[in-house]
Chains A and B, each alone.
Chain A
Amino acid sequence: MDIWFFLIQVLNGIQYGLLLFLVASGLTLIFGIMGIINLAHGSFYMLGAYLTFWLLQSVDSLLLAIVLALPISAVVGYLIEALLVRVLYRRDHLDQVLLTYGLILIFNEAQRMLWGGDIHGVKVPAALNWSIPLTDSLSYPVYRIAISAVCAALAVGMYFVIQRTRFGMWIRAGASNRDMVAALGINVKLLFGAVFALGAVLAALSGAIAAPISSIGPGMGDTVLIICFVVVVIGGVGSIKGAFLGALLIGLADTFGKVLAPDFASFSVYAVMAVVLLLKPRGLFA
């Protein structure tokens, strides 16, 4: 393996990892702060992608479609929290698992009824639809680099918000002691609703910005879900920093697994998770 090949594969791994981070960040936020295992997270990813595809039939700009898709996703997320999830805060985690499992079924059927079973693609915006030549036979799509930049920026932004702002402080406090925050006069209900909506928006955003480089079809959310959980758990549940490093680790493991040990590539991601958890039973940064 020459050094260029190696470096390009590292780039592939990081780029994939950054995208994984964006999808997984919403999941870790919801779990870490609200203690909810949200199986419907993948459905929000699907929602974001489908909304983008659908809106692009009426508007011209991908950016505009994404901007319009996010508030819709936020409302859907907030309503689900307010109407269903809220009832279950004092219940066992597994009740939430069952609830969100039911939601997956409903989302999948709704997708089918609204948009049908066909598989769609979204065009890469013209301004970003070019590639940078890396070697004589390979070039790198600029849109992918742009996605990586957005993901990295959001990672930094999220870290800042959670560590440095009052909202972030409430969130952290709400996670560790719900009653205390309530006693301080903060509306916990509203706060949790907002966090859940934010998680939904993050998933939808990743579905939306990944739309031009992915296929939009039925079941797309289910595939994303498992890999998200892997990322979140490796990093340590609730930790944004952990999700970030976990995502990069998985991105690299997936990339190099395919290249170096193709016969075991299906195992690579799960093997990494198993090893991490056997060495650090609560993830890298719990």
Chain B
Amino acid sequence: MTRISRRSVLQAGAAFAAAGLVPTRFAIGQTAKVRVGLMLPYSGTYAALGEAITSGLKMAVNARGGKLGGREVEYILLDDESNPGKGPENASKLIAGDKVDFLVGTVHSGVAMGMAKVATDTGAMLIIPNAGVGAATGPLCAPNIFRTSFSNWQPAYPMGKVAWDRGMKNVVTISWKYGAGEEQLGGFEEGFTQLGGKIVKRIMLPFPNEEFQANLTEIASLKPDGVFAFFAGSGALKFVKDYAAAGLKSIPLMGTGFLTDGVLAGQGAAAEGVLTTLHYADALDTPENKKFRAEFKAFSGKEADVYAVQGYDSGQLLAIGMDAVKGDTAAGSRAALIAAMAAAEIRSPRGAFTLSKAHNPVQDIYLRQVKNGQEIVLGVAHKALADPAKGCKSA
């Protein structure tokens, strides 16, 4: 299951030796529990995402007898409230206060930025199980920062080709005016315009305004060949419903999977035909995915979603790293731990993936469509897509 490239271990080892630190193997009592800090939203808009990630991660650890590298695991949960103002403070609480060995989080990109800052300052191990902010595996990439989800660019970029292949020439893009929106629209626009497509208009709404009527009227008057939208959560639910109610169904609606994931039931018939790209699909017809979904349902009582998968894979990544160092989280094993994690091949329910040099998944992006109220998989839109990791010095 785990393949560690020998070369990367050596490289990391050399770098570590150069830093002048003498490895003290097994300095910390092997029997002490591994402390995993989960800094996720447990209240507010993203609460459901935080819970899914938590369940997924715990399930992965439980599948290994509740142990990581032979050590029992203790979870420390902290509600980040999706408040970026408190991001660094909360991250420090877990690192300095609760002395966690691993910090896992979070959903909100602004909070993740604060966590990445603290991880950079303290050298703490950070695994990002959702937030897609490009910088985390771009300019701010670091040996100790990993991501098991996606970069905002990643799921959006392949839709550009999909749109072009379907004969669209003029497309309107729409999102909220914030980092994730800019990056996701940017990914689509890059993929679409490099083939010759034209972005008729990019519409950015104030975040988190959910009154879309004015812009739907605008789209109707522009009469594009297609619309690419990035919204998530309650905004996604409402946008898809409003889009259909405004009679725009004749213009194909595209987006990244966040447009329908988790809100499909609430959208009902309005979501019919919506095309999305994402690194996962509930309906993925593989034995791994079916097994995962059944087990997740039994474990948490809820249907698995992409967030559960990302949490699960964060747990797997932890396990791979901890197995490689036999549970030794002391500074002396840090290089080997990082090397093992960086070289991991993760057997994810989404399909196996590896990590790029910037520690972001290199993964297949699926094309999905809603048919008869179900999300079905049309195929792979882009095989083994890696984020360009612009600005990352180690990539």
Interface residues of A (CB under 8 A from B): 5, 8-9, 12-13, 15-16, 108-109, 112, 116-124, 131, 133, 135, 137-141, 143-144, 213-220, 223, 254-256, 258-259, 262, 265-266
Contact = CB atoms under 8 A, between A and B. Distances in A.
B250 interface: yes
30 contacts: A5-B217, A12-B213, A12-B217, A15-B213, A16-B211, A109-B43, A117-B47, A117-B49, A117-B50, A119-B237, A120-B265, A121-B237, A121-B265, A121-B268, A123-B268, A133-B247, A138-B216, A138-B247, A143-B245, A213-B245, A214-B234, A215-B233, A216-B234, A218-B44, A218-B45, A255-B213, A259-B217, A265-B177, A265-B205, A266-B207
Contacts of A123: 268
Contacts of B205: 258, 265
A83 to B, nearest CB: 25
B220 interface: yes
A217 B221 contact: no
Given A119-B262, A121-B237, A135 B221 contact: yes
Contacts of A258: 203, 205-206, 214-215
A131 B48 contact: no
A118 B268 CA distance: 15
Contacts of B43: 108-109, 112, 218
A251 to B, nearest CB: 9
Interface residues of B, number: 47
Interface string B261-291: 0110111100000000000000000000000
B262 A220 contact: no
A258 B213 CA distance: 10
Contacts of B220: 135, 137-138
Given A120-B266, A215-B266, A265-B205, 17 more contacts: A12-B213, A117-B50, A121-B238, A121-B263, A137-B223, A138-B217, A140-B246, A213-B241, A215-B237, A215-B263, A219-B44, A220-B234, A254-B214, A256-B214, A258-B206, A259-B217, A266-B207
Contacts of A259: 214-215, 217-218
Contacts of B217: 5, 8-9, 12, 138, 259
> When A and B form their complex, which 5 residue pairs have the shortest distance between CB atoms, in order from nearest?
A121-B266, A117-B47, A139-B247, A215-B234, A138-B220
B213 A16 contact: yes
B78 interface: no
A147 to B, nearest CB: 12
Contact of B214 (A12, A120, A223): A12
A137 B221 contact: yes
A15, A135, A262 — most chain B CB neighbours (10 Å): A262
A140 B244 CA distance: 10
B235 interface: yes
Contacts of B221: 5, 135, 137-138
Contacts of A119: 48, 233-234, 237, 262-263, 266
A262 B215 CA distance: 10
B200 interface: no
Nearest to B237: A215
Contacts of B213: 12, 15-16, 144, 255
Nearest to B234: A215
B74 to A, nearest CB: 24
B210 A214 contact: yes
B51 interface: yes
B208 interface: yes
A118 B262 contact: yes
B234 A217 contact: yes
B349 to A, nearest CB: 20
A139 B220 CA distance: 9
A15 B213 CA distance: 10
Interface string B177-207: 1000000000000000000000000011111
B262 A117 contact: no
Contacts of A216: 234, 266
B355 to A, nearest CB: 29
Nearest to B247: A139
Given A135-B220, A137-B221, A138-B217, A219 B247 contact: no
B246 A139 contact: yes
Nearest to A2: B221
A216 B234 CA distance: 7
A119 B186 CA distance: 27
A213 B214 contact: no
Contacts of B177: 265-266
A231 to B, nearest CB: 13
A122 to B, nearest CB: 8
A198 B363 CA distance: 55
Contacts of A9: 214, 217
Nearest to B222: A137
